Chain A
Amino acid sequence: MTETRPIESRLLRGVHRTLTGLHPALESLIAALVGLLVGAILMYIWGFDPWKAYYALIRGAYGGSYEWASSIARGTPLILTALTFSICLRAGMFNIGAEGQMYMGGIASVLIAYFVLPRGLHHIVGLILAGIAGAVWSLVPAFLKLTRGVHEVISTIMFNWIARWLGLYLTIFVIVDPIRNEKTLSIPLSARFPLLVRGTDLSYTVFVAVAFALLVYFLLWRTAMGYEVRAAGLNPTAARYGGIHNRRTMFLAFILGGISAGLAGAIIVMGQPPTYAILGGGGMPQLMNIGFDGMAVAMVGRNHPIGILVAALFFGGLNAGGRVMQFYGSNPVPLEMVRVVMGAIVLAMSIPELIRLFPMIRKRGEELIRLLRRVGRRGEERKAS
């Protein structure tokens, strides 16, 4: 049976299923190793010692309790933005909008600086506000998709930019700290998440992220609603036949994804010392790229909440260890190399699909060459006659 399907559903199928036929965890592990290998080769070419660099990276990431705490702290927001991508993918959509939804969540959480509320309640209100902001921001692309058929990839990317500049505007001009105008108002003490490990930036927010991941697992795999979302994501036609409303599952996925991204923004602002505020300078550096990195985490975590927890710890470790690597004595490898490794991992995850494309490309190429030769030969014949 040869089936022709739109490229998008093929991509989706590729993400749900393992590409090489290996166990998904093993496949992710291989991709991670390939990424590290590519990084090593590049380091070698630029005259660094990869062994020393990775030694520094791994020690900086997992070498002790302080290092573990830093790695976990950096992985925490990634868990939530990865969930955004994964939930929507499980429902059959590519939601690239975690970045923008996260900005909105971060901004919303700053708003609690304007209310005085008792400790405990203040935390919860902040998280709720951020969740709502993220969800609302993701609902617009959802509406556009359902009513006007706008593809979610296009609309969410565009909404990322709107969120970015709107966020920057609000940060600089509206919710700005009147005394120190390089940042927004700080989160009041009663709404800051306390630190889990003294002297690190690991706070209780990690429990929020892990709890949300477990909640997503429970919703998607244990409830009738999650069953519907997954069925619609894997085979929308069969889902419709089974009486499932695909529009409803899409909305649910977008809302849940939006909440997750919004929470990511909130925990960065409410749980990260020393400022507990959004820095405007440099374009909100604490938030930047957390949404996009989440997509890489989601891929390596095979779009499963539990896998995402492990993958986030790995990516958090890369970030934390990278800082050590760049200051490591005789062999200071720039931090950018860590981003190269991350990029290589994501590419390695998609290599099996690429390999399948090669024969097709070769065939097309051969046909083209044959055609050109024929045309050339005809031209010569004409000249000769």
Chain B
Amino acid sequence: MGDTVTEQPARGKSYVLRAERITKIYSDGTAALKEATVEIRPYQILGLLGENGAGKTTLTKILSGLLPPTHGRVISPKGPVRFTSPREALDFGIGMVHQHFALVGTFTAAENVALSHERPFSQLQLAKTRERLAALMEESGLHVPLDVPIEKLAVGEQQRVEILKVLSRDVNLLILDEPTSVLTPLEVDVLFSLLERLRDEGKSIILITHKLKEVGSVTDRVVVLRQGEMVGDVRTAEVTSQKLARLMVGEALDEEVDAVELRDEELPSTRRRAEVDRSGAGVLHVENLVVRGNTGETAVDGVTFDVYGGEIFGIAGVEGNGQSELVEALTGLRTAVSGVATIKGTDVIGMDPNRIYRLGVAHIPEDRWVLGLVLPFTLAENAILGIHRWERFRGPLSVLRRGRITKHVRELMDRFDIQATGPNAPAKSLSGGNQQKLIVGRELAKDPAIIVASQPTRGLDIGAAHYIRQTLQEMCDRGRAILLVSADLDEVLAHADRMAIMYEGKFMEVCAPSDLGDRERIGMLMGGVGCEEMS
């Protein structure tokens, strides 16, 4: 902690809101915030930086009235304030744009904004709102089609509707929770220039992020949270990203910080590796695969690719462009409509997950809470999910051999450095990183020929993410085929031997990361702008 950096307020006590010694203890006893004090000033974009679980979202939820603090208070220049609902905070001029949008898909932008205002909802109200929105769009330079149903808009546009919704309430403080996670690089640029313009008009903005790069490019001031404590409050111009990374991860190993720096440079992988024999069909061979999504839409629209032993094949792209459906179709959780998918020559379409696993497939699922783990189960019970019918673990009458299972779990805990109180700790008591290591360990114990890893490092702290990437790399070096699907573009660029960018169910391009071109071009591919259109 001795490392705390605090900026002395230079220009008197001008603030719009001040969170004073806020402590938040959730009902299960976890302290999400410990005496954090943050001052929000006008004409400033404040970056709220921290790893997952550092308390960023909790702090903003308290500011925007979603959660009450356990101790501490929020004060405005006029005195202490206490919000019991987001609506009260909004009336006070504090608006938050959440990661998951609260929009009605079949309503237009104008209708959605009108809906958030007054009730009852009337035609007259709608006309008024439309007028105001048009004026607001002119003023802020934030343009969205007002009369198209939300579901027909791109994610970036939907986000702009959310921002408009908040702005139309005359907010002074705009809070954005990881707004860039759903955007293409080009959309990020548009968003950031908008934020800068709003700042210049005198608004305060809080940008929650765990990406150092974003902090450097748009914020004026950074507050760093680590495990609920405020560990730094600095001017962006006066700090290096190394310093911020160190603050964020604490007294981290240099190796981990190096990993951060490496990621910052965004260099495509230059690692030397053995030549991969790419003749014939790969371990995984996919041809013209078509998969439908939950609502019957065509989610995967005829993709073709091979993944060979000894290589990492990456699939990048903004989330929701069919990656999940593709992975589900390959691992037996969803049945493809048409096309071919074979693993080691066996057709897997329509096969159940258990038989696919027996072909030598390990699956690190994208959602560890919904798919990967049975949270109330113990570590030991989770460590055998999917392999619980192994001869090793079963005695006569199909009785589970507890001794052997415990031994297996202890081995996993040692090998994958899973921090837990013991094999009988409930999986939900583990941190996200340890949960993910448990899944990775379990899947690798299957000694797979191919590993399908979907968002394997999402939401993990730098240390755990680094470890998991390294493990995948090792498996690759040992001749396993790896399909890496990630919304983290940098991750795919740094680790894939070949990669594809997925947009609306199609592959925009399949090539080595170094052949993709500059970031602008990658951004356009992620946004669905094809090669021909660009030139």
Q: Which residues from chain A sit less than 8 Å from chain B, CB to CB? A: 16-17, 21, 222-225, 227-228, 230-231, 234-235, 237-245, 363, 371
Contact = CB atoms under 8 A, between A and B. Distances in A.
Contact of A243 (B352, B370, B393): B352
A202 B398 CA distance: 35
Interface stretch (B17-25, B73-81, B374-382): B374-382
B350 interface: no
A227 B390 CA distance: 13
Given A241-B333, A241-B363, A243-B357, A224 B400 contact: yes
Contact of B374 (A223, A225, A235, A371): A235
Interface string B23-57: 00001100000000000000000000000000000
Contacts of B374: 231, 234-235, 238-239
Contact of A227 (B85, B376, B400): B400
Given A231-B385, A238-B370, 19 more contacts: A16-B376, A222-B399, A222-B400, A223-B399, A224-B394, A225-B398, A227-B384, A231-B377, A234-B376, A235-B370, A235-B373, A237-B370, A238-B371, A240-B353, A241-B363, A241-B386, A242-B385, A243-B354, A243-B386
Nearest to B371: A241
A243 B365 CA distance: 14
Contacts of B372: 238, 241
B376 A241 contact: no
Interface string B104-122: 0000000000000001000
Contacts of B398: 223-225
B388 A241 contact: no
Nearest to B61: A2
B388 A227 contact: yes
B404 interface: no
A21 B400 CA distance: 29
A15 to B, nearest CB: 11
B333 A240 contact: yes
B373 A227 contact: no
Contacts of A228: 388
Interface of B: 27-28, 85, 119, 331, 333, 352-355, 357, 363, 365, 370-377, 381, 384-386, 388-389, 393-394, 397-400
Contact of A245 (B119, B352, B385, B400): B352
Contact of A235 (B85, B357, B375): B375
Nearest to B354: A243
A371 B119 contact: yes
Nearest to B85: A363
Contacts of A238: 370-374, 385
A242 B386 contact: yes
A225 B370 CA distance: 21
A21 B429 CA distance: 14
Contacts of A243: 352-355, 357, 386
A227 B378 CA distance: 12
A227 to B, nearest CB: 5
A237 B324 CA distance: 14
Nearest to B357: A243
Contacts of A227: 381, 384, 388, 400
A178 to B, nearest CB: 47
Contacts of A239: 374, 385
Contacts of B371: 237-238, 241
A241 B353 contact: yes
| 5 tightest A-B CB contacts, nearest first | A243-B354, A242-B386, A242-B385, A235-B374, A224-B398
A1 to B, nearest CB: 8
24 contacts: A17-B376, A224-B389, A224-B394, A224-B399, A224-B400, A231-B374, A231-B377, A231-B381, A235-B370, A235-B373, A235-B374, A235-B375, A238-B370, A238-B373, A238-B374, A240-B353, A241-B371, A242-B353, A242-B354, A242-B386, A242-B388, A243-B353, A243-B355, A371-B119
A230 B376 CA distance: 10
Contacts of B370: 235, 237-238
A2 to B, nearest CB: 8
A243 B351 CA distance: 11
A243 B384 CA distance: 11
Contacts of B119: 371
Contacts of B377: 230-231, 234
A241 B362 CA distance: 11
A222 B398 CA distance: 9
Contacts of B376: 16-17, 234
Contacts of B397: 223
A227 B363 CA distance: 21
Contacts of A240: 333, 353
A242 B355 CA distance: 11
B350 to A, nearest CB: 14
B334 to A, nearest CB: 11
Contacts of A363: 85
Nearest to A241: B371
A301 to B, nearest CB: 18
A195 to B, nearest CB: 34
A363 B399 CA distance: 51
A239 B375 CA distance: 11
Contacts of B365: 241
A234 B373 CA distance: 10
A14 to B, nearest CB: 12
Contacts of B381: 227, 231
B387 to A, nearest CB: 8
A228 B393 CA distance: 14
A224 B396 CA distance: 11
Nearest to B27: A21
A224 B388 CA distance: 7
A21 B28 CA distance: 8
Nearest to A228: B388
Nearest to B381: A227
Contacts of B399: 222-224
A237 B389 CA distance: 18
Contacts of A231: 374, 377, 381, 385
A16 B377 CA distance: 11
A16 B85 CA distance: 31
A119 B167 CA distance: 84
Contacts of B363: 241
Contacts of A17: 376
Nearest to B28: A21
